[in-house]
Amino acid sequence: MGVNETDDAYIRKLFPEVNELQQRLLASQVVQIWDEMWKESNWARIEDCPKGGDVSEYMLVPHVRSVTQGCMALARSVTANYEIPVQHDVLLAGALLHDASKLVEEDPAGNASQKTHLGKHIQHGAYTAHKALALKMPLEIVHLIITHTRQSGMLPKSIEGIILHYVDYGDSDVLLQTVGKKLLLQH
């Protein structure tokens, strides 16, 4: 199943970091997963979906972009300062996809959102991981999608997974702090 040119351009405009992926196939797979999630969701536009959880004031697209940009900055830093290599495309694709399933885990509910049937019954991130596996994306990327959240019960086993996990939680805690909610680090 391919993505039509209009939807491809729309998704790439929302997530311009997709164009930084060195592997063209990987870039098209990231776009395809976002497109499928969107078309399976009840959101008219991807950018209408909130981040979810305790910070429905913030939207999903800026969160994904902030986490993606933070991951790539940290990767550059550990490589420059410690000469630790980071798999650029693995980290970038994993960061771009880490919360794609929020589109089908949340439904519009007035000015906020509510959990969907899928969101109540399937662990966050598992559906995106399933789609990535179906597209035969590298297992290293699937691992990042699963381990970005503590809900998986599995810790990251790679440098890229550690970076994504902590950057995502850091970004989420910054948002929680701004709305006066309990930080994830305090759980």
pLDDT in tens, 64-99: 999 999 999 999 999 999 999 999 999 999 999 999
Q: What is the pLDDT of residue 52?
A: 81
Question: pLDDT above 70 covers what percent of the chain?
Answer: 98
Residues 172 and 55 sit within 8 Å (Cβ to Cβ):
yes
Helix, strand, coil shares, percent, the chain, to 5: 65, 5, 30
Residues 159-185: tens digit of each pLDDT: 999 999 999 999 999 999 999 988 887
Residues 6+ apart with CB under 8 A from 92: 17, 20, 21, 68, 71, 72
Two tokens, residue 186: 């305090």
Q: What is the pLDDT of residue 5?
A: 92
Q: Quickly name the fold that domain 5-181 has.
A: Hypothetical protein af1432 (1.10.3210)
Name which of 166, 175, 150 is nearest 73 in CA terms: 166
pLDDT confidence bin for 144, thresholds 50/70/90: very high
The whole model's pTM is what? 0.95
Helix (H, G, I), strand (E, B) or coil at 124: coil
